[in-house]
Amino acid sequence: MSRLLIDENLPFSLVRLLKVDCVHASEIAAQASDTLLWNTARQNNWRVLTRNTDFFDRLLVHGAPPKVIWVRLGNIRKNALIELLLSRWPAVQLMLESNDLVEVYHDRLEALSFPR
């Protein structure tokens, strides 16, 4: 799996908990803009883990890369979010191998591919 960029709207603790090569947005720039994060991920062929709709919108307009993992859990406590992501992480990684977007819901994962 290529490097994972974790958006600032997700806990920094995921950097060590996911046990993959990753960087948190706060390590790229203080309050990094979505444009900066998108361009950094796109130029380096990184994957993006986010709760932000903007990355889905950018996939629709520009296509991949980067591939995006979109966490769609609504309001959820930090520990519950981390626990859910950790439990589903192997399936997310597998789905992302053949898709451009994986959406993470409370009860399921959904995946989409976009034309190149």
> Is 1's pLDDT higher than 70?
no
Instruction: Kindly report, residue by residue over 21-38, the tens digit of the pLDDT.
Output: 999 999 999 888 999 999
Instruction: Kindly report, residue by residue over 56-91, the tens digit of the pLDDT.
Output: 999 999 988 999 999 999 999 999 999 999 999 999
Q: Supply the range of the domain harboring residue 54.
A: 4-112
Percent of the chain with pLDDT over 70: 98
Angle at CA of residue 64, ends 61 and 70, nearest 5°: 85
pLDDT reported for residue 101: 97
Tally of domains in the chain: 1
Spatial distance between the Cα atoms of 78 and 2, rounded to a whole number of angstroms: 25
Specify the pTM: 0.95
